[in-house]
Structure 1
Amino acid sequence: MHAQDLPAGGTELTEPGQGAFAALSEVVRVLEADPDTNWAQVDLAGLRAHLVDMDRLITDTIVTETILPNGLSGLATGDTETLATLGRMVPAHAAQLARDKRWIVEVSELESGIELRVTSDDPAVIARIKGLGFFGLMASQDHHREHHLMMARGEDAHSH
């Protein structure tokens, strides 16, 4: 059934399925609506790989959080594929987090995984860091949609 086939007063669904599929579908819609899209440069396979990484980070990563007096340290680990994902995702996102000058962000690649350490001198920011935890920190900084569109367009998504 298509939207035009819905009965009057019917509710149109807005989520086209699983989250990664929905994100990819949304990007395709934007690219198709943009007459300036350079289709020779579009890299939806790269975006898909990134979305798989995002899913693996949330689903398969095992994190041991250590509460610090001035913030948090999260040691993230997992199987071989998850470790590869962490190596791509955590340092890249830490660079985004570091743009916020209210906290200090450090990443260490260890044999057992990746450590993300976020600290501050401001008690309110320390409370925020602790409240967000590893996964909240990885999801914070609302740059993801812009980042995904840049990746799909074949642009350098880590330079913004």
Structure 2
Amino acid sequence: MLRAFLVLVCLAASPALAQTMMHHHAMMDSGDGAPITPTQVGQSAFAAIQEIVAILEADPKTDWSKVDIEALRQHLIDMDAVTLCAESKSEPVDGGMRFVVTGAGPVKDSIRRMVFAHAATMNGVGGWSMSAAEIDDGATLTVIAPAKDAAKLRALGFIGVLTLGMHHQMHHLMIAKGENPHP
């Protein structure tokens, strides 16, 4: 009986306790009088979207009739699916590697979108040739690199190759603006 009473008291006090804790946290400072405030939004896709929305809001030239944040969200879902759920096997080819990337259900479609988009965007950059092909349960990405980059290509593997180039941030902004980010 006492235990049930204590649980009820704790539950009833929770809003007040939370408010007190938030007030206490807001009162904390870094030692120089500056308040300490949280910086993490708690989830990386949410943070990426929040960053893009802030950029769009700060730009007086933003054409809100073309903005499509949902398209960006769908792209981030694809990125997550490929990064965390796809299977990747590497096969050496003359002058490079072929990555056979597979997955079931929606992951298969995410693989295809990501692989074809990356090949189109990065083909020829740094002397690396990239081509994509559809297979039954995903796609292949064939990468031919200069001989000096052979060890780098092997070390990067499929997901490392997808990270190449600092185009992702601008790519996300273009998607959100309703523009075609792929040549």
Task: Tell me the TM-score normalized by structure 2.
Answer: 0.78
* 1:8 matches 2:32: no
Higher normalized helix content (fraction of residues) = 2
126-135 or 68-77, which deviates more: 68-77
**CA distance in structure 2 between the aligned counterparts of 1:56 and 1:112, rounded to whole angstroms:** 14
Counterpart secondary structure, 1:133: helix
Q: Alpha-carbon deviation of 1:6? A: 5.3
Q: Is the Cα contact below 8 Å between 2:104 and 2:137 reproduced in 1?
A: no
Name which of 80, 95, 113 aligns with 2:120: 95
Aligned residue in 1 for 2:150: 126
Report sequence identity in percent: 37
Counterpart secondary structure, 2:125: coil
**CA distance in structure 2 between the aligned counterparts of 1:34 and 1:6, rounded to whole angstroms:** 34
In structure 1, give the amino acid aligned to 2:147.
P
Q: Alpha-carbon deviation of 1:73? A: 1.2
**CA distance in structure 1 between the aligned counterparts of 2:27 and 2:98, rounded to whole angstroms:** 51
Flag structure 2 segments of 5+ consecutive residues without an equivalent: 1-21
Greater relative contact order: 1 or 2 (C-alpha under 8 angstroms, separation 6 or more)? 1
Aligned residue in 2 for 1:112: 137
Q: Is the Cα contact below 8 Å between 2:95 and 2:144 reproduced in 1?
A: yes
Counterpart secondary structure, 2:127: coil
Q: Is the Cα contact below 8 Å between 1:6 and 1:12 reproduced in 2?
A: no
Aligned residue in 2 for 1:52: 77
Aligned residue in 1 for 2:167: 143
**CA distance in structure 1 between the aligned counterparts of 2:78 and 2:107, rounded to whole angstroms:** 8
Aligned residue in 1 for 2:19: none
**CA distance in structure 1 between the aligned counterparts of 2:27 and 2:54, rounded to whole angstroms:** 21
**CA distance in structure 1 between the aligned counterparts of 2:69 and 2:178, rounded to whole angstroms:** 8
Q: Alpha-carbon deviation of 1:49? A: 0.5
**CA distance in structure 1 between the aligned counterparts of 2:174 and 2:28, rounded to whole angstroms:** 38
In structure 1, give the amino acid aligned to 2:49.
L
Aligned residue in 1 for 2:57: 32
Q: Alpha-carbon deviation of 1:101? A: 5.0
Counterpart secondary structure, 1:36: coil
**CA distance in structure 2 between the aligned counterparts of 1:118 and 1:83, rounded to whole angstroms:** 20
**CA distance in structure 2 between the aligned counterparts of 1:97 and 1:48, rounded to whole angstroms:** 22
Flag structure 1 segments of 5+ consecutive residues without an equivalent: none
- CA distance 1:6–1:28, shift in 2 (3 Å): farther
Structure whose alpha-carbon radius of gyration is higher: 2
**Deviation string, structure 1 residues 36-82 (Cα, Å, up to 9, x no partner):** 11111110011000001100010110111123452211100011211
In structure 2, give the amino acid aligned to 1:85.
S
Q: Is the Cα contact below 8 Å between 1:102 and 1:125 reproduced in 2?
A: no
Q: Is the Cα contact below 8 Å between 2:132 and 2:141 reproduced in 1?
A: yes
Task: Tell me the TM-score normalized by structure 1.
Answer: 0.88
Q: Alpha-carbon deviation of 1:12? A: 3.6
